[in-house]
A and B are shown apart, each in its own frame.
Chain A
Amino acid sequence: MIDTIRPVETPEGVELGLVVAGLPVRLLAFLLDLAIRIALISAVGGVLGALGGFGAGIMSVFIFALEWFYPILFEVHWAGQTPGKRALGLRVLHDDGTPVGWSASFVRNTLRSADFLPLAYGFGLVSMLANRDFKRLGDLAAGTLVVYGDETVAAPTALASPTDPDGALPFVATRPLRTDEQRAIVAFAERSPGFSPERRIELANLVEPLTDRTGPDAVARLVGIAHHLLGHRSRP
């Protein structure tokens, strides 16, 4: 399947899926960080500008720190996120899925100036387009991935029982279903809370031969079949 999920095998022998982030969203995060840095420099510069030579010296150090160490400090202390990345739900991880550390972050952010060559992120762009994990040179050298994933907590949510917005009862399908048909129905039930009612009905109407009805009843029947497939025998 063509997708951007990168499997990472853990020592336990199970594969975890990481969704790698592509060029546009990373560019946006970068621009956001750039804007934040420029705002900081102009704000601090206004204060330090009044202090003459002393202020100019501190200002140089400050600009230097923002230029080179802003992304490193944030990535290490904010679990792989700069403010821009946090705003867009991105995160930097080591290739093995662990949070990025000092050395990897230092390498990937220092080598940004190699990615920038020959101009306007030329090498970085070519590198990102040429490998399947959208790694720029800095990421290749540091062994890091930029992935989607804003979860900082495991949030013990309700487990994946499909909800029954229309009060569906478990229902035995009138004919045997193939595995892929079962999956499609369960996936429909699982995702239906995110659809508009009209969309739900529209989709449910597609399988009228199975549900033998149309409209809201078809939705309820389909969700009922999904419940039965998942093992609900009466209302949970």
Chain B
Amino acid sequence: MNQQTFESRYGDVWRALAGWLDRAAPVPVPQQGAAPPPPRPPVVPTAEIPHLYRQVCQHLALSRARGYTPGLVEQLNRLALLGHQQLYGASVEGRRSDGGLGVIRFVTVDLPRLLRVESRVVGLAMLLFWGAVVAAGIGVWLAPELIYTLFDPSDVRNFEQMYRPGLEALGRREADTDVAMFGYYIRNNIGIALQCFAWGLVGGVGAVVPLLYNGAILGALGAHLTRVGSGPTFFSFVIGHGSFELTAIVLAGAAGMKLGWAVLAPGRHTRAEALRLAAMKAVKIVYGAVGMLVLAAFVEAFWSPRTSVPIPVKFTVGAGLWALVIGYWLLAGRRRRAAASGSR
């Protein structure tokens, strides 16, 4: 079949598919010379699109095999590509709105389950972080001058000022307002978490180092401030948002370590493929970390600094938040699975 016949025989199919693909943005048909533009293709029922698309795919293969002109091949290639994107892009997560149900399901079911599935890497990150907290805490408690290996003397004085008993708001310089600190926590903390995830790609080092460093800071500060008598105020500040924030640091570190591990030990995949597979899972952990850090920023800016709230109340609320986080982590998303397997 020569190209002329091919075009005139199947042109209607191509125009029908193109018309459907363009229905959102109808374009007048450009036509050579004085020939009148063909009538707009009739609107095809959507149910016929897969059929039309498969025909176009076949025509594309045929036109290549028969050596039809590059122009025709290119047009069919483009038509098939757009059809492909429409048909297969529809299933890509996040592209189609499901009325927020997907987000709710992710938060209540998928994320806690994923954290339990990935408990080895999450547990390792937790061990590194809390290990550093404890080690630095004990170190500074026994040898107070060690604090100066982590901070300048001026920083240490600042911290002592920020958490001394009798302040109106903890953890900030006097001029800082709640909203300013909220913005700072969002930008700084989430930025660090995302960077921790990304840099983990470098053999995991970029994730392990921030975990250890942040853990050491927390442990050393806690021990030092307890020595100088600011322990209760400091821990009443940290405990509330710490439930979200410290968990989020661990999660971001775990996600980064997952990337790094995929690069170091790709197993039966190529490195690139192992990295891709690890990233698809790790990114969901990062979503969890980012969500927790947003919550943490609210608590840290608007609740934690309040000294008008009695310290026992803050410890009670803080313990409640920790119980919430741990309970969520361990228990959320289990019931539905039990119900689902029970109904089978």
Query: Which A residues contact B (CB, under 8 angstroms)?
Result: 10-18, 52-54, 56-61, 63-64, 67-68, 76, 93-94, 96-99, 101-103, 106-107, 110-114, 117, 123, 131, 137, 140-143, 149, 151-163, 179, 182-183, 186-187, 190, 229-232, 236
| Chain B residues with CB below 8 A from A96, complex form | 88
Contact at A117–B197, with CB atoms within 8 Å?
A: no
Q: Which residues of B contact A93 (CB under 8 A)?
A: 85
For residue B67, give the distance in angstroms from its CB to the closest CB of chain A.
6
Give Cα distance in the complex from A153 to B86, angstroms. Answer: 11
What are 14 sample pairs from A and B whose C-beta atoms fall under 8 A apart? Answer: A14-B80, A61-B182, A99-B85, A99-B89, A99-B95, A103-B93, A113-B195, A114-B199, A140-B272, A153-B27, A156-B15, A157-B29, A157-B75, A158-B31
B79 at the interface (CB under 8 A from A): yes
Partner of B69, one of A59, A114, A230: A230
B61, B72, B89 — which one has the most chain A CB atoms within 10 A of its CB?
A: B89
Residues of A near B190 (CB, < 8 A) are: 64, 68
Question: What total of chain B residues lie within 8 Å of the partner, measured CB to CB?
Answer: 83
The 0/1 profile, CB within 8 Å of A marked 1, for residues 180-205 of chain B is 11111011001100110111011000
Please, which residues of chain B bring their CB within 8 A of the CB of A187?
69-70
Assess whether B183 is in contact with A57, with CB atoms less than 8 Å apart. Answer: yes
A148 CB, nearest partner CB in chain B, Å: 12
Cα distance A213–B202 in the bound complex, in angstroms: 66
- Other than the given A54-B177, A154-B21, A154-B78, 8 more pairs (CB < 8 A) read A57-B183, A64-B187, A94-B92, A99-B92, A101-B94, A114-B202, A142-B279, A231-B4
Q: How far is the CB of A106 from chain B (nearest CB, A)?
A: 6
B83: A residues at CB distance < 8 A? 154
Task: Tell whether, in the assembled complex, residue A190 and residue B201 are in contact, meaning their CB atoms are under 8 Å apart.
Answer: no
| Contact in complex: A231, B5 (CB < 8 Å) | yes
- Residues in B neighbouring A141, C-beta threshold 8 A: 201, 259, 275-276, 278-279
With A and B bound together, what is the CA distance between A230 and B1 in angstroms? 10
Establish whether residues B81 and A18, one from each chain, have CB atoms under 8 Å apart when the complex forms. yes
Q: Looking at chain B's contact residues, is the secondary structure mostly helix, strand, loop, or mixed?
A: helix
8 Å CB contact of A160 from B2, B7, B18, B89 = B7
Question: A16 to B32, alpha carbons, bound, how many Å?
Answer: 27
Q: Does B208 contact A (CB under 8 A)?
A: no
The answer to whether B177 touches A103 (Cβ under 8 A) is no
Contacts of A61 in B (CB 8 A): 182-183, 186-187
**A14 touching B61 by the CB < 8 A rule?**
yes
Q: Is there contact, CB below 8 Å, between B70 and A103?
A: no
Which A residues lie within 8 Å of B2 (CB)?
Answer: 229-231
Tell whether, in the assembled complex, residue A53 and residue B32 are in contact, meaning their CB atoms are under 8 Å apart.
no
Taking CB atoms and an 8 Å cut-off, the chain B residues in 2-43 that contact chain A are 2-5, 7, 11, 14-15, 17-19, 21-22, 25, 27, 29-33, 41
Bound-complex Cα distance A107 to B71 (A): 36
The CA-CA distance from A107 to B75 in the complex, in Å, is 32
Decide if B175 is an interface residue (CB 8 Å cutoff).
Answer: yes
Say yes or no: A97 contacts B279, CB within 8 Å: no
Are B81 and A64 touching (Cβ within 8 A)? Answer: no
Is the pair A159, B72 in contact by a Cβ cutoff of 8 Å? yes
A99→B19 CA distance, assembly (Å): 20
Which residues from chain A contact B177 at a C-beta distance below 8 Å? 52-54, 57
Stretch of B52-60, B109-117, B319-327 contacting A (4+ beta carbons < 8 Å) = B52-60
Q: Please tell me if the beta carbons of A103 and B184 are within 8 angstroms of each other in the complex.
A: no
Q: B332 contacts the other chain (Cβ, under 8 Å)?
A: no
Q: B27, A155: Cβ atoms under 8 Å?
A: yes
Chain B contacts for A117, CB-based, 8 A: 199, 202, 206
Task: List chain B residues, Cβ under 8 A from A58.
Answer: 179, 183
Contact B179 A98, beta carbon cutoff 8 Å: no
A116: nearest chain-B partner, CB-CB: B198
Q: A53-B179, A153-B25 are in contact. Are A64 and B283 (CB under 8 A)?
A: no
Is there a chain A Cβ closer than 8 Å to B156's Cβ? no
Kindly identify which residue among B79, B84, B201 contacts A137, using a CB–CB cutoff of 8 Å. B201
A117 vs B80: C-alpha distance in the bound complex, in angstroms? 39
Residues of B within 8 A of A63 (CB): 187
Specify which chain A residues have a CB less than 8 angstroms from the CB of B85 in the assembled complex. 93, 97-99
Complex-state Cα separation, A54 to B53, whole angstroms? 54
* Cross-interface CB contact of A101 among B67, B79, B95, B195, cutoff 8 Å: B95
A59 to B2, alpha carbons, bound, how many Å?
Answer: 64
Closest chain A residue, CB of each to CB of B63:
A160
Q: With the chains together, A180 CA to B74 CA distance in Å?
A: 18
Q: Is the CB of B180 within 8 A of A179?
A: no
User: Is B226 at the interface (CB under 8 A from chain A)?
Assistant: no
CA distance A160 to B80 in the complex (A): 16
**Beta-carbon contact of B198 and A102 below 8 Å:** no
B279 proximity list for chain A (CB < 8 A):
107, 111, 141-142
Least CB distance from B213 to A in Å reads 17
Is B77 in the interface zone, CB < 8 Å from A? yes
Q: Assess whether B77 is in contact with A16, with CB atoms less than 8 Å apart.
A: yes
Interface residues in B192-231 (C-beta closer than 8 Å to A): 194-195, 197-199, 201-202, 206
